[in-house]
Amino acid sequence: MLPRMLLVTAAMSCAMAVAVAAFSDREFCDVAKQVAIAAEQDVGNWIDRKTRNAGIIVDCTDKVVQFKRFTYLPTTAFNDAWKQRTSTSWNARHCSSAIWREAVKTGWKVQLGVWSADGGHASMLAQCD
């Protein structure tokens, strides 16, 4: 677990260096891919009592980073209150980071995709003001 945490920390440190200099889509893409590789070790790990990590997909051509989650919540739980709470948390997590905020502001789509055991799906994009 410690080596994986160190890899993610190192990748995000590189990302912060990218943020300090002029933002580069290519460099951000490289860092996002490294974060996705590190996150593969966490696929299947529980995020909370009902949600598991399902990986990260990085598409540099379309400028998309998608964080995938699988939940045992029924699709009916994806109501407006859930969407508001999840969106607020998602935005706070990514917009409080200089590199993720800059990526969003330069057109990268930082997406959360949540799939339910009953076949439902919800997704949201980070939006930084």
CATH number at residue 74: 3.30.300.250
Q: Compute the distance between CA of residue 104 and CA of residue 28 in angstroms, rounded to an integer.
A: 11
Instruction: Give the mean pLDDT of 104-120.
Output: 96
Hey, what are 92's tokens? 């706070």
Averaged pLDDT score across all residues of the chain: 87
- Identity of the amino acid at 74: P
Tally the domains of the chain.
1
The answer, yes or no, to whether residue 12 has pLDDT greater than 60, is: no
**Residue pair 114/120 in contact by the 8 Å Cβ criterion:** no
| H or E stretch at 114 | strand 109-116
Instruction: Express each pLDDT in 17-55 by its tens digit.
Output: 444 568 899 999 999 999 999 998 889 899 889 999 999
**Residue pair 55/45 in contact by the 8 Å Cβ criterion:** no
Cα(first)–Cα(last) distance of the chain, in Å?
35
The answer, yes or no, to whether residue 75 has pLDDT greater than 50, is: yes
- Characterize the bridge pairing of strands 109-116 and 64-71: parallel
Host domain of residue 116: 2-125
For residues 87, 18, 1 and 95, what is the CA-based torsion angle, rounded to 10 degrees?
-10
Whole-prediction pTM: 0.80
